[in-house]
Amino acid sequence: MKQEKLLPRPLLARIYFIDWKIASGVYPNTRDLAKECEVGTATICRDIEFIRDRLGAPIEYSPLHRGFFYAEKTFRLPARFAAAEDMLALGMAKTLLSFYRSTPLYEAARRLMDAITAPLAGEESSGEAEPWYEKRILAPFSASYPVNEEIWRAIFTGLRENRIITFEYQSTMERGF
């Protein structure tokens, strides 16, 4: 079993803070980051180099804005360094996502969960193809009726705009298949 060196907590917090600042689009520079993190600019330079070179972040510097940005607008550091319990909970939630398989929400949520949990792929110490919990958490088949995407969008829009939504329920027995 490969022993992975853990990052010191202050460094880990600083790395995720730098990631958050860069992703926010404010073009942070080393001086501002150093001040906010209460470290020297040389430390921030090493952190940015580490994030770019070792963690694969597409960090670039904008002379126009005098700060850093992600060349890929949607890039974020993976949750690889999150606590094991948090990642386990996320993996289990991914399994339970199957309840939403027949809704338009499923594909977007699945892609997001895959992106977040991608750093875990292939890291199971048992050498098995799937995580151990996938054999222990069973999401029963949901015999739900597929939701029409247009209806789903109308419901989503109504919820987002804080509107009152009314509907009539009709069982499958009444309507038939």
User: What confidence category does residue 1 fall into, taking pLDDT thresholds of 50, 70 and 90?
Assistant: very low
Is position 4 within any domain?
no
- Together in a domain, 58 and 90: no
Structure tokens at 175: 């309507």
User: Which is more confident, 65 or 158?
Assistant: 65
- Together in a domain, 72 and 84: no
Residue 132 CB contacts under 8 Å (≥ 6 apart), including other chains:
124, 126
For residues 35 and 72, the answer to whether their CB atoms sit within 8 Å is no
pLDDT beyond 80 at 169: no
> To the nearest whole number, what is the mean pLDDT of the chain?
76
- Together in a domain, 95 and 145: yes
Is position 2 within any domain?
no
Instruction: Burial-class residue 86 by CB neighbours within 10 Å (0-12, 13-18, 19+).
Output: exposed
User: Which is more confident, 83 or 143?
Assistant: 83
For residues 101 and 140, the answer to whether their CB atoms sit within 8 Å is no
User: Which is more confident, 150 or 68?
Assistant: 68
Domain count of the fold of the chain: 2
- Together in a domain, 23 and 105: no
Output the domain CATH number for residue 55. Answer: 1.10.10.10
- Together in a domain, 27 and 112: no
- Together in a domain, 105 and 39: no
Mind listing the pLDDT tens digit for each residue in 52-84?
998 889 999 999 999 999 999 888 887 655 666
User: What confidence category does residue 28 fall into, taking pLDDT thresholds of 50, 70 and 90?
Assistant: very high
- Together in a domain, 23 and 63: yes
Is position 154 within any domain?
yes
Question: Does the predicted TM-score (pTM) go above 0.85?
Answer: no
- Together in a domain, 43 and 113: no
pLDDT beyond 70 at 87: no
Mind listing the pLDDT tens digit for each residue in 34-50?
998 889 999 999 999 99
Percent of the chain having pLDDT more than 90? 25
Structure tokens at 132: 């151990």
- Together in a domain, 50 and 92: no
Q: Calculate the dihedral angle through the C-alpha atoms of 28, 30, 32, 34, rounding to the nearest 10 degrees.
A: 130
Domain range for residue 135?
A: 80-175
